[in-house]
Amino acid sequence: MVLDQRFTLPVLFSVVLHALILVLFFGDWGFFRTKEPEPVPPRYVTATLVDLQPKAKAAPPQPKEQNLDAKRFEDLKNLKNREEQKRKEAEAQVQRQKEQAAKEAAAKEEALKQQKLKDQQAKVAREKAEAERKKKLEEERRKAEAEQKRKREQEAQEEIRRQQAAYQKEEKHLSDTADDASVISYNELLARRVGENFSPPPSARLGMVSVFIIDMLPNGQVVGVALSRSSGNDAFDRAAEQAIRRVDRFVEIKDIPIDVFERNFRRFTFTFDPKDLRL
């Protein structure tokens, strides 16, 4: 397994140091020590007491060098474990940084996606609003055109009605004029017929005028005569009333249009003013 670059130099330094320690412990340094004279063996007999009972063998003492090697191995193992732990922590840190960077990139991408979605929605909303605005303007334009058309038609109808009213008024005027002329003519005819039946009393004088209300049927039959304004001479008034009643029926009236008769002769005012009396 390859160590992280940050731990390469400390590891190399540790290895070199341990190697130097091993050389110091296992190296032959006898040339630094002074030789001692060899001892003279004593000249006596050595007696040895032999114990027939077997004794447990003592564990041979471990060489000092082996204990040192085990300690150095353990230290090196611990160092490697620490370095391995640091490496794993460094890798974990790098992994966390990568994951954090990936999360940030994903969040940024999601934010861009959401922003793009919002922009698209805003664009759709603007297009919809613009379409609604155009539709509203088009409806208002059509309504305005329809209103203008309705006003033109109304004005045209009013103009037609005005023309018809003017035409009818003109016709009525002409008709009324004709009716008035006809009424005047019939009034003159009635006055002449009454004058033919009038017998003036001795007291009658020129300038006397009597006014009567006459009720008549469409066939010209006189059904009622009433004095409305006296001439001031009773004999003249009675003679005039008798002259109207003698006529009895004005046959010329039956030729008058019924509307003219209803307006002018159903009940009308008749003024009797003879012009052939004495002064």
Q: How far apart are CA 146 and CA 123, in angstroms?
A: 34
Amino acid letter at 146? A
**Could you give the domains of the chain?**
197-272 (3.30.1150.10)
> 171-194 burial by CB neighbour count: b if 16+ within 10 A, else e?
eeeeeeeebeebbeebbeebbebb
| Least confident interval from 62-71, 124-133, 145-154, 232-241 | 62-71
Alpha carbons within 13 angstroms on the beta-carbon side of residue 248 total 1
Mean pLDDT of the chain: 80
* Dihedral sign (CA 147, 151, 153, 157): positive
Tens digits of residue pLDDT in 225-244: 999 999 999 999 999 999 99
Q: What are 222's two structure tokens?
A: 């006189």
Is the whole-model pTM more than 0.85? no
Q: How far apart are CA 90 and CA 94, in angstroms?
A: 6
Highest mean pLDDT out of 38-52, 69-83, 162-176: 69-83
Q: How far apart are CA 72 and CA 18, in angstroms?
A: 8
Tens digits of residue pLDDT in 203-224: 889 889 999 999 999 988 999 9
> 71-86 burial by CB neighbour count: b if 16+ within 10 A, else e?
eeeeeeeebeeebeee
> 198-236 burial by CB neighbour count: b if 16+ within 10 A, else e?
bebeeebeeebebbbebebeeebebeebeeeeebebeeb
DSSP strand E in 93-236: where?
A: 210-216, 222-229
